[in-house]
Amino acid sequence: MLKSKVFLVSLVVAVALVASASIAMSAPILIKFSHVVAENTPKGQMANKFKQLIDERLAGKVAVEVFPNSQLFGDDKVLEAMALGDVQLAAPALSKFEKYTPSLQIFDLPFLFDDMAAVEKFQQGPVGQEMLMSMKKKGYIGLGYLHNGMKQISANSPLRVPADAKNKKFRIMTSDVLAAQYEAVGAMPLKKPFSEVFTLLQTKAIDGQENTWSNIYSKKFYEVQPYITETDHGVLDYLVVTSTEFWMGLPDDIRPQVKKALEDAIAFGNDVSAKKAEADRQKIIDSNRSEIIKLTKAERKLWIDAMKPVWSKFAGKIGQEKIDAAVASNN
């Protein structure tokens, strides 16, 4: 009797030891973060910061692998891959969610935001926060906005007034709003992946493109585009996105810690974006490879007048009340 009791106790102890050992040894939750830009950009640095913070705060429980430069997926495939569980985190430009929600198209409306402070105010306000959840039913959750900055237009000939863009081919992100913006000045927009832009410009298959200073610098577009018009006509920001299934499947004690690390990494990335916009613009000037064209007030007004009719074309889809809220953020 005593023997069998001792045996039972030893068995229970052994099972407990094996169980705790296997918990201790169980593999950490893997978060693959895929993006398309270089590591020295705001998004690249934000992603690396997130990995660093997770390594410091959740070592052994969560591990992050970052894949920059479209190494794992381009933005055209990343959301499908996320739905299949092949990647857990991405931060595509807001322009690239058109297939999933019309509301985020607001960020593509030309000359909507005066500056990045207005963008930040709108994103952190009630409308911007509500939009984070606009794809929940489709299986995606927005975890936060990340800034890159205001966009400029580069070309192989000088662009001062809208007529200079007529019949020229411009690469755009996959957004009908951006297509309408170029059509409004008689240009020809082409939706192409970011990874193809340099070659398209270099081979002169296209005449120009629009992007932020950090993307124009880090991807060397300025080396193959002799003119950059400083239009500040639109914003290029990102939605840090995950799949609802992955996010809700995280253990309750882990999810808030991952969220906090993301928030801290986004704050870091936003700081980088503000500094890089200025620094990379200067590096381009110093390179003497590309002339930066500054518009007079009258010239800029011509671009605004030509492109602003795009707003009313998309107001029904996006929602006039959202556009009004965005305009109000300029004050």
- Interface contacts to ligand SIN, rule CB under 6 A: 36-37, 43, 93, 148, 173, 194, 211, 215, 236
Nearer to ligand SIN, 279 or 315 (CB): 279
Site of tokens 């613009």: 281
| Minimum gap (Å) between residue 163 Cβ and ligand SIN | 25
Q: How many CB atoms lie within 10 A of CB 328?
A: 13
CA distance 318 to 310: 12
CB 131 within 8 A of CB 142: yes
- 259: closest CA among 137, 132, 148? 132
| Minimum gap (Å) between residue 264 Cβ and ligand SIN | 21
Nearer to ligand SIN, 250 or 276 (CB): 276
| Minimum gap (Å) between residue 37 Cβ and ligand SIN | 5
Site of tokens 């935001």: 113
Nearer to ligand SIN, 151 or 300 (CB): 151
CB 154 within 8 A of CB 231: no
H helix and E strand count, the chain: 13, 11
| Residue nearest ligand SIN (C-beta atom) | 194
- 68: closest CA among 36, 42, 43? 36
| Minimum gap (Å) between residue 217 Cβ and ligand SIN | 12
| Minimum gap (Å) between residue 249 Cβ and ligand SIN | 27
Nearer to ligand SIN, 147 or 322 (CB): 147
| Minimum gap (Å) between residue 241 Cβ and ligand SIN | 12
**Beta bridge partners of residue 149, listed in sequence order:** 236
Nearer to ligand SIN, 36 or 159 (CB): 36
Coil, helix or strand at residue 196: helix
Nearer to ligand SIN, 51 or 62 (CB): 51
